[in-house]
Amino acid sequence: MTLRVLCVFLLSGWLSVSAAALPIPENGPALRIQGSNTIGAELGPALVEGLLQEQGLLKIHRETPDTANEQRIVGQTAQGQRVIIEVAAHGSSTGFAALKNASADLAASSREIKDSELLALQALGDLKSPAAEQVIAIDGLAIILNPANPLEQLNTEQLARIFAGEVKTWEELGSRGGAIHLYARDDQSGTYDTFKELVLSRRGKSLSSAAKRFESSEQLSDAVSADPQGIGFIGLPYVRQAKAVAIADGASQAMLPLNSLIATEDYPLSRRLFFYLPPDSRNPWAQALAAFAQSPQGQAIVAASGFVSQTVQAMSVTPNALMPEGYQSLSRHAQRLTVNFRFAEGSASLDNKARQDLARVLDYIKRNGKTERAVTLVGFGDLKDDPARADLLSKLRAMAVRRELVKNGVVMREVRGFGALMPVATNSADEGRIKNRRVEVWVY
């Protein structure tokens, strides 16, 4: 897939503005995007602007029609022709519905496509194929307290009970301060959607009616900072003067909302953001935007928009007593890359994000001269009745990644499996087991 979709891609009703440019429709928008508000409010339009700039368009700006949560991003060719891309952000499910009724060319979603949606859209091709399902960014939430609150960590079960109004005082959590005051974003917020999906809905709970609701992230964060009894949830860029607490899920270690832990998807309150592009799509702008979002320029826009990019970096890991000795030794002598390879549900095959990440990891390894015995792969799995089976499966997953890297000229230093040790999520739910089935990449 390439951004230089040339004149060979011309369709009926399209004009080519130059040999290196995308074709311009004679009438109507060049691209229609519908779906997630989390993506459509800012990230989607920013990526569109980046693509328009790359295409050499001029006078790029946003226009807001009368309908709420909708935007038009407009550019102009050197010949004065307007290029319009429409973005409607009414929720992830609306994107898939719009693909079905042909009112959108690309769906933006803050969750994976559901089986029922896959079935309904099968006439468009396989929307779970690597070309169709594009992870464009990682999102994460911080749980914030007043800086004077001595509490350092919570687990996801406690969070659900707190925000449902079932835990009413700080003393019930081993802290102090009396009654708990809840602060939450409003119903139109993608941040609220994320919290509802990752914490409340998974445990069959709803937000307490006593929660104070905010349209502004900044105002919510400042309100918690000013209230010794307050607790709230917020997007990463908006912690400000508040105190972020570490979060645990199941038997996982408690983790702070660090960009590196969100990039690896280890942090419990992280999630993927997607573009879904029908594989049978003949709209060159849809293909170009999906490719641009994966590029270094696109991922820089992801980071600038307050989300976590998929750019691969090396990070140091501090060993601790909860780690197995072999892992402690690794952390003393090597650095971990900010990517985890994960696997399709019920499969030893890499999932679509992992396939995308392979190219990024290979680029990092080659650029940093680490193709010769400088890379160690570490596999993990979910809990099994037989620990030996968990150990074997964890190593087999690491071997699956090894095969792909070896094909591209990387000579491994070591491949290890740690079974069900060091879970990053609860093993009592499918989502948690999938997160625990992972392969880490370490470099010397």
β pairing state of 314-315 and 335-342: antiparallel
* pLDDT at residue 10 in the model: 34
**DSSP label at residue 321:** T
pLDDT > 60? residue 11: no
Q: What percent of the chain has pLDDT over 70?
A: 94
Q: Which two tokens stand for residue 145?
A: 């307290």
How far apart are the C-alpha atoms of 141 and 195, rounded to whole Å? 8
Confidence at 5, pLDDT banded by 50, 70, 90: very low
Question: Could you give the C-alpha distances from 12 to 26, 77, 214, 333, in angstroms and in order?
Answer: 10, 20, 48, 59
Q: What three-state secondary structure class fits 63?
A: strand
Question: Where exactly are the structural domains of the chain?
Answer: 7-132+277-304, 139-259, 312-443
pLDDT per residue as tens digits for the range 353-385:
999 999 999 999 999 999 999 999 999 988 776
**CATH fold for domain 312-443:** 60s Ribosomal Protein L30; Chain: A; (3.30.1330)
**What is the average pLDDT across 400-422?**
94
Q: Phi and psi at residue 440, in whole multiples of 5°? A: -95, 155
Q: b/e map of 384-398 (b: 16 or more CB within 10 Å)? A: beeeeebbbbbbebb
Identity of the amino acid at 441: V
CATH placement of domain 7-132+277-304: 3.40.190.10
**What is the average pLDDT across 92-118?**
94
pLDDT > 80? residue 398: yes
pLDDT > 90? residue 147: yes
Residues in the chain: 444
How far apart are the C-alpha atoms of 16 and 25, rounded to whole Å? 9
How far apart are the C-alpha atoms of 84 and 75, rounded to whole Å? 7
pLDDT per residue as tens digits for the range 194-236:
899 889 998 999 999 999 999 888 999 999 999 999 999 998 8
Contacts of 439 (CB under 8 A, 6+ apart): 340, 341, 342, 377, 378, 379, 380, 397, 398, 400, 401
CATH placement of domain 139-259: 3.40.190.10
User: Is the model's pTM score more than 0.75?
Assistant: yes
pLDDT per residue as tens digits for the range 265-289:
999 999 899 999 999 888 999 999 9
> Is 150 or 13 the better-scoring residue by pLDDT?
150
Question: Is 7-132+277-304's fold the same as 139-259's?
Answer: yes
How far apart are the C-alpha atoms of 323 and 308, rounded to whole Å? 26
Question: Could you give the C-alpha distances from 182 to 142, 190, 244, 272, 315, in angstroms and in order?
Answer: 14, 18, 15, 26, 35
pLDDT per residue as tens digits for the range 108-127:
998 889 999 999 999 999 99
State the chain's mean pLDDT as an integer: 90
Among 63-77, 179-193, 217-231, 307-321, the minimum mean pLDDT is found in: 179-193
Angle formed by the axes of helices 284-294 and 44-54, to 10°?
100
* pLDDT at residue 3 in the model: 36
**What is the average pLDDT across 257-263?**
93
β pairing state of 270-276 and 106-109: antiparallel
Q: Give the DSSP letter string of 64-123.
A: --SSTTEEEEEEE-TT--EEEEEEE-S-HHHHHHHHHTTS-SEEEESSPPPHHHHHHTGG
